Amino acid sequence: MSWELILGSSYVALGALVLTLNLKSQIYYGFKLASIVFLSILYIATYIAIGEIRGWAIEKEPPSPFKLHWAVVEEPDKRNGTEGMIYILGQEINAYGTLQGQPRLYGLPFSPALAQEIENARAAIEDGKPIEANIAYKAKKVEDEDLDDMQTREGAKAQPDSASEADRLTLNFREIPKPDLPAKPAQ
């Protein structure tokens, strides 16, 4: 069940509940109080659930391939306790090479290698070149694979560390070639 459907049905229930409570009914006082608490929690949940609609960056990988419109690198700051983020404004490219949907803001965890790749791609965008990006992952080190095998044998779940996952993520950038246009007919 999608969150849009859950949210919509919650507001239908909210409307029915408010209608019932506003009519002069002899509903138990505890039920009225519980409904007020429920509605308060529903408002907070709604605010959190529509984070993507408000235009905030979503913290998941962008589609592959995508056109890079712009990127911002926020480096980690130990003094303020921020871990750093890389914000990418990208738009999906379909199999035919055309842009699909609306541009979207993605938030990726900071890694120095990815930040350098982003800086190089941003310089190309400033030169007026359209840039396409494809997502790739670096191969794991042998030590990491051995650690995962050991954790699996001991019964622990092999959970990837978010920092190592960020270090493994790479974006391969290339300039989008200009489309071949048919020749103009002679007049």
- The reply to whether 56 falls in a domain is no
Q: Are residues 70 and 34 in the same domain?
A: no
Cβ-contact 100, 94 below 8 angstroms: yes
Residues of the chain with pLDDT > 90, as a percent, come to 10
- The reply to whether 109 falls in a domain is yes
153-172 mean pLDDT: 55
Q: Are residues 150 and 75 in the same domain?
A: yes
- The reply to whether 59 falls in a domain is no
Q: How far apart are CA 3 and CA 128, in angstroms?
A: 39
Q: Are residues 154 and 124 in the same domain?
A: yes
- The reply to whether 184 falls in a domain is no
pLDDT at 95: 81
Cβ neighbors of 55 (< 8 A, separation 6 or more) are 105
| Assigned token pair, 125 | 């965008």
Q: Which domain holds residue 130?
A: 66-175
Q: How far apart are CA 15 and CA 28, in angstroms?
A: 19
Domains in the chain: how many in total?
Answer: 2
Q: How far apart are CA 28 and CA 23, in angstroms?
A: 13
Q: Are residues 79 and 140 in the same domain?
A: yes
Tens digit of each residue's pLDDT (9 = 90 or more) over 70-126 = 999 998 888 888 888 899 999 998 887 788 888 888 888 888 888 898 999 999 999
Q: Are residues 99 and 127 in the same domain?
A: yes
- The reply to whether 180 falls in a domain is no
**Share in percent of the chain as helix, strand, coil (round to 5):** 40, 20, 35
pLDDT at 119: 92
Q: Predicted confidence band at 155 (pLDDT cuts at 50, 70, 90)?
A: very low
Q: Are residues 80 and 31 in the same domain?
A: no
| Assigned token pair, 143 | 């030590």
Burial call 121-158: b when 16+ CB within 10 Å, e when fewer: bbeebeeeeebbbeeeeeeeeeeeeeebeeeeeeeeee
Q: Are residues 16 and 105 in the same domain?
A: no
Cβ-contact 103, 168 below 8 angstroms: no
Cβ-contact 120, 133 below 8 angstroms: no
